Amino acid sequence: MRIDLHTHSTASDGTDTPAELMRNAAAAGLDVVALTDHDSARGHAEAIAALADLDRDLTLVTGAELSCRLDGVGLHMLAYLFDPFEPEFLRERELVRDDRVPRARAMVTRLQELGVPITWEQVARIAGDASLGRPHIATALVELGVVATVSDAFTSEWLGNGGRAYAEKHEFDPFEAIRLVKAAGGVTVFAHPQAVKRGAVVPDSAVERLAAAGLDGIEVDHTDHDAPTRARLRGQAADLGLLVTGSSDYHGSRKSVELGACTTDPEIYGEITRRASGAFPVPGAGGRAQGLS
């Protein structure tokens, strides 16, 4: 069974619509895929609707990737199988999502001040109704020929953390995120905890504190982690009793990684579904959710 628990659609900064993502996940031979857009569950309905038309079984795990900040360091928390209508988490999620708009406007203004001929209309066209992120602005910079690739915009010169055109956004306190997700019946997994090329990461002691606060797992197998890092994280997970997941963090054509590039052990997936009470995995064309015992 092939299980990929971290993907992005056009509901955030991926390039596949939620329906296209389900079709591509089935074509990639996945049995289970999680949709985890940044700070948003708005892609879920379209993904669920698309499952019925697939010619292959694919189970959808609904989720989100929450933008958090701890002691000044940004981190991402994956949330799975929460009740999307639970009012407190819904309100906080939408607050974080909606604050991405003024923050993106601030980054566009900074770029204009740096002499870049970018417009808000251009960014709005690229983002559509997505949860707005730096990759949308980076795409505009690629269109303008300012940088060659989306990744090249994530430097101190442009949109990288603390960069010339960077602006902060409102983010969750990760302890509050764990509490909100649990109260909505969901499960939390710390995404790519050692993705050092994206910027500063939190120390191991932070993972211990999050584990003590009810964190369920850490994403170990991720293309931003090299082999020694994965080995060290596996050891940390064993010490702290955390589940270990693996995922692609697929973003469609905005990133080179393919669906299923890293995967999660079926036993771990089963444990995630057992711990969750906010939502069930959604079965695909075959009508029975995969991997549930």
Residue 182 vs 255, nearer CB to ligand AMP: 255
Q: What residues numbered 33-72 form the site for ligand AMP, per CB under 6 A?
A: 38, 67
Question: Which part of the chain contacts ligand AMP (CB under 6 A), choosing from 19-27, 29-37, 132-140, 285-293?
Answer: 132-140
Instruction: Classify 76 as helix, strand or coil.
Output: strand
Distance, CA of 17 to CA of 211 (rounded, Å): 34
Residue 238 vs 256, nearer CB to Zn ion: 256
Residue 23 vs 38, nearer CB to ligand AMP: 38
Minimum Å gap between C-beta 49 and Fe ion is 23
Identify the CA nearest to 216 among candidates 248, 264, 254: 264
Identify the CA nearest to 272 among candidates 203, 208, 219: 219
Q: Is position 46 an interface residue for Fe ion (rule: CB under 5 A)?
A: no
**Which one of ligand AMP, Fe ion, Zn ion, none is in contact with 61 (Cβ closer than 5 to 8 A by kind)?**
none
Q: What residues numbered 206-235 form the site for Fe ion, per CB under 5 A?
A: none
For Zn ion, the nearest residue by Cβ is 13
Q: What residues numbered 182-201 form the site for Fe ion, per CB under 5 A?
A: 191
* Count of beta carbons in the 10 Å neighbourhood of residue 188: 27
Binding-residue total with Fe ion (CB under 5 A): 4
Q: Are strands 3-4 and 73-80 parallel, antiparallel or unpaired?
A: unpaired
Contact 159, 165 (CB under 8 A): yes
Q: Is position 15 an interface residue for ligand AMP (rule: CB under 6 A)?
A: no
* Count of beta carbons in the 10 Å neighbourhood of residue 293: 7
How deeply is 106 buried, as exposed, middle or buried, from its count of CB atoms within 10 A (0-12, 13-18, 19+)? middle
Question: Which part of the chain contacts ligand AMP (CB under 6 A), choosing from 23-31, 150-158, 213-221, 257-265?
Answer: 150-158
25: CB partners within 8 A, 6+ apart: 4, 7, 33, 58, 259
Contact 261, 246 (CB under 8 A): no
Distance, CA of 152 to CA of 157 (rounded, Å): 10
Residue 8 vs 169, nearer CB to Zn ion: 8
Binding mask 164-203 for ligand AMP (x = CB under 6 A): ----------------------------------x-----
Q: Is position 171 an interface residue for Fe ion (rule: CB under 5 A)?
A: no
Q: Is position 76 an interface residue for Fe ion (rule: CB under 5 A)?
A: yes
Minimum Å gap between C-beta 21 and ligand AMP is 15
Residues that bind ligand AMP (CB under 6 A): 13, 38, 67, 133-135, 150-151, 154, 198, 251
